[in-house]
Amino acid sequence: MRMLTLIFAAMTLFGSCAASTIEPEHDSATAQLMQKYDGNGPGASLLLLKDGKPLVRRGYGMANLEQHEQASPATNYRLASVTKQFTAAAILLLAEDGKLKLDDPIRHWLPSLPATTDKVTLRQLLSHTGGLIDYEDLMPASTTEQLNDNDVLRLLAATPKSYFAPGTAYRYSNSGYVLLGLVVERASGESLPDFLRQRIFAPLRMDHTLLHVRGGPEVSHRAYGYSEENGVWKRTDQDLTSATRGDGGIYSSIDDLARWDAALYDDRLLSDASRKLAFSPHARVVGEPYPASYGFGWRITGDTLWHSGESIGFRNVIVRWPKQHLTVILLSNRNGPEPYQTALKIAQPFLAH
Structurally, the chain folds into a number of domains equal to 1
Residue 297 belongs to what domain range?
Answer: 2-350
Long-range Cβ contact pairs of 206-210 (< 8 A, separation 24 or more): 206/252, 206/256, 206/257, 206/259, 206/260, 207/256, 208/74, 208/76, 208/252, 208/253, 208/255, 208/256, 209/76, 209/250, 209/251, 209/252, 209/253, 209/256, 210/250, 210/251
The stretch 334-350 carries a mean pLDDT of 97
Q: For residue range 136-161, list pLDDT tens digits in order.
A: 999 999 999 999 999 999 999 999 99
User: Whole-angstrom Cα distance, residue 219 to residue 253?
Assistant: 11
The stretch 102-111 carries a mean pLDDT of 98
User: Whole-angstrom Cα distance, residue 353 to residue 330?
Assistant: 23
pLDDT of residue 23: 65
Number of other CB atoms surrounding residue 351 within 10 Å:
13
pLDDT of residue 27: 85
Question: Band of the pLDDT at 10, cuts 50, 70, 90?
Answer: very low
CA 84 vs. chain centroid, Å, equals 5
Q: Quick check: 292 pLDDT over 70?
A: yes
Q: Which of 36, 24, 86 is nearest to 318 (CA)?
A: 86
User: Whole-angstrom Cα distance, residue 138 to residue 161?
Assistant: 11
User: Whole-angstrom Cα distance, residue 278 to residue 296?
Assistant: 4
Strands 304-311 and 232-235: unpaired
Number of other CB atoms surrounding residue 150 within 10 Å:
12
User: Whole-angstrom Cα distance, residue 344 to residue 328?
Assistant: 8
User: Whole-angstrom Cα distance, residue 49 to residue 166?
Assistant: 38
User: Whole-angstrom Cα distance, residue 220 to residue 2?
Assistant: 28
Q: For residue range 114-137, list pLDDT tens digits in order.
A: 999 999 999 999 999 999 999 999
User: Whole-angstrom Cα distance, residue 77 to residue 315?
Assistant: 9
Q: For residue range 207-243, list pLDDT tens digits in order.
A: 999 999 989 999 999 999 999 999 999 999 998 889 9
Q: For residue range 58-94, list pLDDT tens digits in order.
A: 999 999 999 999 999 999 999 999 999 999 999 999 9
Question: Band of the pLDDT at 331, cuts 50, 70, 90?
Answer: very high
The pTM of the whole model exceeds 0.85: yes
CATH code at position 345: 3.40.710.10
pLDDT of residue 12: 42
